[in-house]
Amino acid sequence: MIGAVEKLLTETIGLDAASVGQTVIRQAVKDRMAACRIIDAQAYWEHLTSSAQELQELVNAVVIPETWFFRDREAFTMLARHARENKRTLPIKVLSLPCSTGEEAYSVAMAMFDGGFAAHEFKIDAVDVSTRNVAIAERAVYGRNSFRGSNLEFKDRYFETTEGGLRPNAAVLKQVRFRVGNLFDPRASFGQEAYDILLCRNLLIYFNRALQDRALTCLKDLLAKDGLLLVGPAEGALPRLHGFISAEWPLAFAFLRSEHVNTMAPKPAAIPLRTPVPKVNRSSSALTRPKIGKEGRPQPPAKPVDRISESLIEVERIANAGRVKEAQEVALAHLKAFGPSADIFYLLGLVQDADGAASEAARSYRRALYLAPNHREALVHLALLLRKQGDRSGAEALVGRLDRAQKRSGT
């Protein structure tokens, strides 16, 4: 019977049994049989296939609800900034799918408020296939497990103590509307709205390749033409296969549906890597061995600037893969090998920020700005960090500086 249940779950919610392991499904079936007081496997199968409610209970029992506030923090920084820079018709419509127990959707609301948006300027729909998760999200009382990492200053600004834990304040709660729905049944679950920003994080990993493709088609359907899609760290390869382009923001795992909007982060023309980034040969041996040119003649060894750029790209690559600690180590090694530069301090700040080390991150951004006072990304990130820490006037001063720098350079 387990094989048949697995197939039913794949057909219903896309779950690939191999991704969670057979034991999870076996245990869930065992628990549900006990709850229904059924001891015979065939009798349970008949009950399961004739009762929508029992199928929902089994779904509730097998899904992985793992989530927390500001999981992959850069995603939230990035989406608020994307919304500001690509503002079109208000309100901006955001969809958190799957929202699990609500932490992601409420984090979006907090990030949008921190990004300077007023309540009437954005709205968030949050959808999950688990009725149990949606009920928890609506109740909105959170314990320690929902607050992870060390950068938790948002707790003081946006939460109130209540019986059993902490609850987002009324302003945050009001921005989010929860619904039960299935990604594979988009129009029935979501209506006709086209979303400007869609978070589909840490769900695609539970599907097989064919269903990942189907999911991406559904997600594309739900997004506005120039919409932004955010996926989880392990899912970054998939949107590209469906014509999305990377928004090129380290650690945000963000993709644009079409090409005409601003991509924001480390792109040589627009932003940071101030060291010119030549096309590089990414094999590590290229750093030491003379290269052989097309004509077969040995080429001169890589110039120092190539090695610096290559090393910066390596830090970014590791950061983009979500390996925050390793990225910090590689950034520090870069500093030791090549000495201080605005770009390495900015990247170091970014990974420290993503790792929840706010004061170290602020120090690194400031070092970047000491070396390059108009470093656009360092200005933006430090401003966001200060705003999150409640230092509004410090943040405003940096935004003013950013505006002046942009006016001067005509960007």
Of 159-167, 169-177, 199-207, 371-379: span binding ligand SAM (CB under 6 A): 199-207
Q: Can you tell me the distance from the alpha carbon of 51 to that of 55, in angstroms, rounded to the nearest whole number?
A: 6
Smaller CB distance to ligand SAM: residue 148 or 307? Answer: 148
Unique residue bearing structure tokens 């925050």: 324
Of 83-91, 123-131, 340-348, 367-375: span binding ligand SAM (CB under 6 A): 123-131
Who's near 292: CB < 8 A, 6+ residues apart? 298, 299
Q: What is the DSSP string of 63-80?
A: S-----TTSSHHHHHHHH
Of 118-126, 197-205, 340-348, 378-386: span binding ligand SAM (CB under 6 A): 197-205
Q: Which of 5, 6, 9, 14 binds ligand SAM (CB under 6 A)?
A: 14
Note whether 107 binds ligand SAM by CB under 6 A.
no
**106 neighbors 77 (Cβ within 8 angstroms):** no
**250 neighbors 352 (Cβ within 8 angstroms):** no
Note whether 25 binds ligand SAM by CB under 6 A.
no
Q: Which of 41, 184, 246, 401 binds ligand SAM (CB under 6 A)?
A: 184
Note whether 386 binds ligand SAM by CB under 6 A.
no
Who's near 64: CB < 8 A, 6+ residues apart? 20, 206
Please name every residue paired with 166 in a beta bridge, in sequence order, or none if there are none: 142, 161
Smaller CB distance to ligand SAM: residue 67 or 175? Answer: 67
Kindly write out the interface string for residues 311-350 of this chain, putting x where it contacts ligand SAM by CB under 6 A and - elsewhere: ----------------------------------------
Note whether 57 binds ligand SAM by CB under 6 A.
no
Note whether 136 binds ligand SAM by CB under 6 A.
no
Amino acid present at 43: A
Q: What is the DSSP string of 4-41?
A: HHHHHHHHHH---HHHH-HHHHHHHHHHHHHHTT---H
Note whether 24 binds ligand SAM by CB under 6 A.
no
Please name every residue paired with 174 in a beta bridge, in sequence order, or none if there are none: none
> Minimum Å distance from CB 153 to ligand SAM?
20
Note whether 160 binds ligand SAM by CB under 6 A.
no
Note whether 71 binds ligand SAM by CB under 6 A.
yes
**240 neighbors 212 (Cβ within 8 angstroms):** no
Query: Which of helix, strand or coil describes residue 189?
Result: helix
Q: Give residues in contact with ligand SAM (CB under 6 A).
A: 13-14, 63-67, 71, 98, 100, 104, 128-130, 133, 182-184, 201-203, 232
